[in-house]
Amino acid sequence: MEILSFLIPVSLFLGFLGLVAFFWAIRDRQFEDLEGDGHRILRKDYDDRPKADRTED
Amino acid sequence: MAATLTPSATACPACVVVPSAEALAAKRARAESRIMLSLPSVRNATCISSVERLLEATPGVRSARVNLSLKRVSVDADASVTTDDLIAGLNGIGYPAHELDPGLLSATENDKRGRDLLMRLGVAGFSMMNIMLLSVAVWSGAEGPTRDLFHWISAMIALPTLAFAGQPFFASAWASLRERRLGMDVPISLALVLASSISLFETIKGGHHAYFDAAVSLCFFLLAGRYLDYRSRAAARSAAEELAALEVPRALRLDGAQETMVAIADLRVGDLVRVRPGARMPVDGVVINGASEIDRSLLTGETLPVQAMRDTIVSAGEVNLTGPLTVRVTAAGKETSLHRMADLVAVAETARSRYTSLADRMARRYSPSVHVLALSSFLGWLWISGGDVRLAVNIAAAVLIITCPCALALAVPAVVTSASGKLFRKGLLIKDGTALERLAEVDTVIFDKTGTLTMGAPRPLLLEDQPRDALPVAMALAAASSHPLSVALAAALRSMGVTPAGLSDLREAPGYGVEGRWQGTRVRLGRAAWVGADEATETATYLDLGQGAAPLTFGFADRLRPGAREAVEGLRAQGKQVMLLSGDAAAAVKALAGDLGITDWRAGALPAEKAAVVAELSAAGHKVLMVGDGLNDTAALAGAHVSISPASALDAARVASDVVLLGQDLGPVADAARISVIARRRIKQNFALSLAYNLVAVPVALVGLATPLIAALAMSTSSLMVTLNAMRMK
């Protein structure tokens, strides 16, 4: 059962990484337009080269 | 000990209806950097691309981004770019757009609150999963030091989580306690605090049961309900209330020969004001100079413009159409008819804010019983066990956790979110949280005519029957004027492929019509008396070709709004009374009522009469749905049990109504009524489900058999059932 003393911190740490990723996603406003982002990847506008200048939203 | 509800009335509803000049000026200044447009018809990737490409190709636009979930686009642009240009451009490629007040400050604040709730939800979810993993081990029989270790780890995760994620509940419980009432958040906070402190105590003592998992999952489910509730409110409110204002708070004052732009508030009775063609009357007054026609449709519902000349009395809000007018002010500011109408709205709105939602009614009855149950179980067990405080507190905490309105808190938001999402996809924006519930109770529907059942724009009739050679002349004359009938005639002729005849000496006689010279003879298009024709009964304009022939009559009819027939038929099929209430002349109203099969109609109704009809019906026990768009409907809209207005409606009308129709189609009104009935049924089912769960679980908790495992199971299954039930909205 000693293995638990490693596994529990490890799993907590991994879960915490997920939480940090979630925070980052919220701050990056990735939940503002769920539907639109789903459609955006289907369009061909910027297939050849990326959009010229990305201004702050 | 009953929880009381604070009415959500705004302090001054009239301020909302007629925004002050300062507020509007501030709005304009902000709009220079960012423009928000509502785009009801964007659907997919192609729409996103074409809208963004068009906007970014417009000179002065720095960037444009479409938000498909909210169906709007935000544009970053230089101050030189006007909203009207962008709207015209978007209309050109087939996307009708409405301006939204960017309200940057309030919008970002709203976003912050939403993100804040989402973050707390995320933290609670993360902790819940981890604690549940540990709890599964305890439930399946971990003993001694292992169990204590797991309890300690759970405590270390749960306590900071509750301190952070539970803040919304603690804050609102504190606020309601200070006002000496018991909202739903008081038992919630009590349960969270009691459960975690009991569990901490048990953990220190090495006890069997800790409720960390229950406390955290309770917090998670409640936050989920809160977040859904917030989202459905915020999305609707920000879009609908901010549809930009039409009112112009300024006027051109004549001081001798000089014209100065002044705020309406600075005008005094007796001042002279110049009103240009196309502008709205800023004041009530009397015309002392000039000739024109004025459009009263927003105030009275009349489709036909009225002739204005010396001594004509005009009211604020009317639109001057063809010629410049000089008006002597008889009433400005608070005395104008526009303002008196706003006062009517204020009175009506306070009456409506007394509505108590199903959830509030439920909470009022439920919340005291939670406290009573927990307290009596504590006292009861204290007595039975002969003073074992630890056991009694344990059981009281279990009772609190079980009875805490987890499923109850999700019951309404989940249904409202799923129903309003459905309606949003059909083009309806729910502005008010309780609008769906109120809509479900409706048994009488009152429609306005002009601008609601009809498009409010005339369409020429039977152009094919007119002599072919007259059409090019009519077109050339009509194209020279901005009068609504001329504009409609020119557009119809253009779509028939008619090319305008070459005329010379084109001249508009304001208030009368247009004249010109064609092949050496004088031709005129305009009023019957001016052209020398006999007045027809219907709305019409007259063409005199000048060669001694009798003048031709071009009849007009207002176009039916698409979906109007479906809406009326759909509502009647649902067993609702349909009524038509218009300020227009009897003949026009009767024709439309006959066409749509509405037997109950009233014409020539003044704004106060409309409101009175609504009040009368309400007093007789009817629940009235008012559908209208004009200023003359505003008081009725505010007074009705629930109200709907199209996006093309006047500002004040949209603010006064609960639901805004984003597209042109009126059809969704019938759908809305149908879906609201389903939604109310789902809400009631959800209440029944969570009460049934309490009926089973509470006795178990009262006799002291509710282990953390049972609490966790009961809570999760009931929340899940309620959510799934909400989602099967068809």
Residue B111 has pLDDT above 80, yes or no: no
**Closest residue in chain A to residue B111, using alpha carbons only:** A32
For residue B288, CA distances in Å to A28, B278, B483 come to 61, 18, 22
B438: containing domain: 418-455+561-677
Q: Has residue B599 got a pLDDT over 80?
A: yes
Is the same domain home to B141 and B186? yes
Q: Is any Cβ of chain B less than 8 angstroms from the Cβ of A9?
A: no
CA of A12: which chain B residue's CA is closest?
A: B130
Measured in angstroms, the CA of A34 and the nearest CA of chain B are apart by 7
Tokens of B130: 């981890």
Residues of B tagged active-site:
448
The arithmetic mean of pLDDT across residues B674-701, rounded, is: 87
Decide if B243 is inside a domain.
no
- Rg, C-alpha atoms of chain A: 19
Interface test with B, best of A7, A22, A28 (most B CBs within 10 A): A22
pLDDT at A56 over 80: no
Q: Which of B45, B53, B119 sits opposite A23 (nearest CB)?
A: B119
- What pLDDT does residue B158 have? 92
Same domain, yes or no: B303 and B277: yes
Do residues B281 and B363 share a domain?
Answer: no
Label residue B446 left, alpha or beta by phi (over 0 means left) and psi (-120 to 50 means alpha).
beta
Residues of A in contact with B149 (CB under 8 A): 4
Using a CB–CB cutoff of 8 Å, tell me whether A35 touches chain B.
yes
Q: Do B48 and A1 touch (CB under 8 A)?
A: no
Q: Is B444 helix (H, G, I), strand (E, B) or coil?
A: strand
Query: Once rounded to an integer, what is the mean pLDDT over residues B28-39?
Result: 62
Last residue of a domain, one of B558, B586, B601: B558
pLDDT for residue B5 is more than 50: no
Which residues contact residue B681 at a Cβ distance below 8 angstroms, ignoring those fewer than 6 apart? none
Q: Check A8 against B153: CB less than 8 A apart.
A: yes
* Higher pLDDT, residue B324 or B303: B324
Domain presence at residue B205: yes
SS3 (DSSP) at B15:
helix
Smallest CA–CA distance from A55 into chain B, residue: B63
Over residues B667-680, the pLDDT tens digits come to 888 888 898 999 88
| B:111-140 residues touching chain A, CB 8 A cutoff | 111, 115, 118-119, 122-123, 126, 129-130, 133-134
Mean pLDDT, residues B690-702 taken together:
85
- Cβ <8 Å between A31 and B66: no
Two tokens, residue B567: 């809406």
State whether residue B600 is helix, strand or coil. strand
| Nearest CA-CA distance, residue A24 and chain B, Å | 10
* Residue B48 contacts A where some CB pair is shorter than 8 Å: yes
Q: Domain for residue B529, yes or no?
A: yes
pLDDT bracket for residue B12 (50, 70, 90): very low
Closest C-alpha among B294, B299, B302 to residue B587: B302
- Residues B605 and B647 reside in one and the same domain: yes
Three-state SS for B94-144 is CCCCEEECCCHHHHHHHHHHHHHHHHHHHHHHHHHHHHHHHHHHHHCCCCH
Residue B82 lies in a domain: yes
Confirm whether B115 is domain-assigned: yes
pLDDT of residue B25: 44
pLDDT at B656: 72
- Is A34 in CB contact (< 8 Å) with chain B? yes
Residues B312, B166 share a domain: no
- How many whole angstroms separate alpha carbon B185 and alpha carbon B225? 13
Q: Given an 8 Å threshold on Cβ–Cβ distance, is A55 in contact with B63?
A: yes
Give the closest-approach CA distance of A41 to chain B in angstroms. Answer: 8
Sheet holding B600-602, edge to edge: B428-430, B659-661, B642-646, B624-627, B444-447, B577-581, B600-602
Mark whether B361 and B233 lie in a shared domain: yes
Confidence bin at B31 (pLDDT 50/70/90): very low
Q: Does a structural domain hold residue B53?
A: yes
- Domain assignment of residue B19, yes or no: no
Query: Residue B72 belongs to a domain with what CATH number?
Result: 3.30.70.100
- Please say whether the beta carbons of B91 and B20 come within 8 A: no
End of a domain among B558, B576, B598?
A: B558
Mean pLDDT, chain B, as a whole number?
77
Q: Would you say residue B565 has pLDDT above 80?
A: yes
3-state helix/strand/coil string of B639-671? HCCEEEEECCCCHHHHHHCCEEECCCCCCHHHH
Residue B416 corresponds to which tokens in the numbers above? 């409202």
pLDDT confidence bin for B365, thresholds 50/70/90? confident
Per-residue pLDDT at B397 exceeds 70: yes
Q: Residue B664's pLDDT is what? A: 77
- Residue A45, chain B, CB below 8 Å: the answer is yes
Which of B47, B67, B121 to substitute to test the interface with A, most A CBs within 10 Å?
A: B67
Last residue of a domain, one of B677, B693, B713: B677
Number of domains present in the structure of chain B:
5
Q: What is the pLDDT of residue B234?
A: 63
Please write the tens of the pLDDT for every residue from B512-550. Answer: 778 888 877 888 888 777 777 776 666 778 887 777 677
Q: Do A32 and B69 touch (CB under 8 A)?
A: yes
CB of A48 within 8 Å of a chain B CB? The answer is no
List of chain B residues whose C-beta atoms are within 8 Å of the C-beta of residue A35: 68-69
Torsion sign over Cα B213, B214, B220, B221: positive
Contact B62 A55 (CB under 8 A): yes
CA B658 centroid distance within chain: 5
To the nearest whole percent, how much of chain B has pLDDT over 70? 83
| Residue A47 contacts B, CB cutoff 8 Å | no
Q: List the alpha helices (DSSP H) in B441-562.
A: 470-478, 484-495, 528-531
Same domain assignment for residues B255 and B357: no
Asked whether residue B433 falls in the same domain as residue B472, the answer is no
**pLDDT at residue B120 in the model:** 92
With an 8 Å Cβ cutoff, is A46 touching chain B? no
Percent of chain B with pLDDT over 90: 3
In this prediction, residue B652 carries a pLDDT of 64
C-alpha B301, offset from chain centre:
22
Given a cut of 70, whether residue B109 has pLDDT beyond it is: no
Does residue B331 contact residue B269 with C-beta atoms inside 8 Å? yes
- pLDDT of res. B163: 92
CB B281 within 8 A of CB B299: no
CATH for B634: 3.40.50.1000
Please determine, for residue B336, whether its predicted confidence score (pLDDT) is greater than 80.
Answer: no
Q: What is the CATH number of the domain that holds B553?
A: 3.40.1110.10
Mapped onto helix, strand or coil, the DSSP state of residue B12 is: coil
Q: Using a CB–CB cutoff of 8 Å, tell me whether B62 touches chain A.
A: yes
The answer to whether the CB atoms of A11 and B133 lie below 8 A apart is yes
Q: What is the mean pLDDT of residues B132-147?
A: 84
Q: What is the DSSP string of B274-297?
A: EE-TTPBP-SEEEEEE--EEEE-H
Same domain, B221 and B137: yes
Nearest to A18 among B74, B126, B146 (CB): B126
For position B531, what pLDDT does the model report?
A: 76
User: Which residues of chain B have a CB within 8 Å of the CB of A18?
Assistant: 126
Count the neighbouring beta carbons within 10 Å of the beta carbon of residue B581: 25
Least trusted range by pLDDT, from A1-15, B273-287, B353-367: B353-367
Confidence of residue B339 (pLDDT cuts 50, 70, 90): low
- Kindly report the CA angle at B498 between B495 and B500, in degrees rounded to 5? 120
B10, part of any domain: no
- Please tell me which of the candidates A4, A19, A39 has its beta carbon nearest to residue B122: A19
DSSP code at position B265: G
User: Of B69, B134, B149, which is closest to A34 when you measure between CB atoms?
Assistant: B69
Place of tokens 């907590």: A12
Q: Which residue has the higher pLDDT, B589 or B231?
A: B589
Residues B654 and B609 in one domain: yes
Nearest by CB to A36, from B68, B118, B130: name it: B68
pLDDT at B155: 92
Residue B614 CB contacts under 8 Å (≥ 6 apart), including other chains = B446, B624, B626, B636, B639, B640
User: How far, in Å, are B69, B106, B577, B587, B590 from residue B424 at the CA level?
Assistant: 10, 22, 25, 36, 33
A39/B146 touch (CB, cutoff 8 Å), yes or no: no
Stretch (H or E) spanning B584: none
Q: Is B146 on the interface with A (CB under 8 A)?
A: yes
Tokens of B662: 């984003």
Most B-contacting residue of A11, A30, A33, A55 (CB-CB within 10 A), to test interface: A33
Residues B289 and B301 in one domain: yes
Which chain A residues are closer than 8 Å to B76 by Cβ?
A: 55
pLDDT the model gives residue B116: 86
Residues from chain B contacting residue A2 (CB–CB below 8 Å) = none
Residue type for position B39:
L
Instruction: Give B224-268 pLDDT, tens digit per residue.
Output: 888 887 776 665 554 434 433 334 456 778 877 777 777 666 777
Helix (H, G, I), strand (E, B) or coil at A56: coil
Same domain (yes/no): B568, B695: no
Q: What is the pLDDT of residues B156-197, one digit of tens each?
A: 999 999 999 999 889 888 888 888 776 677 888 888 888 888
DSSP 8-state secondary structure symbol assigned to residue B315: -
Q: What is the pLDDT of residues B366-386, one digit of tens each?
A: 777 888 888 888 899 888 888
Of B49, B63, B123, the CB nearest to A19: B123
Which range has the worst mean pLDDT, B87-101, B130-144, B645-659?
Answer: B645-659
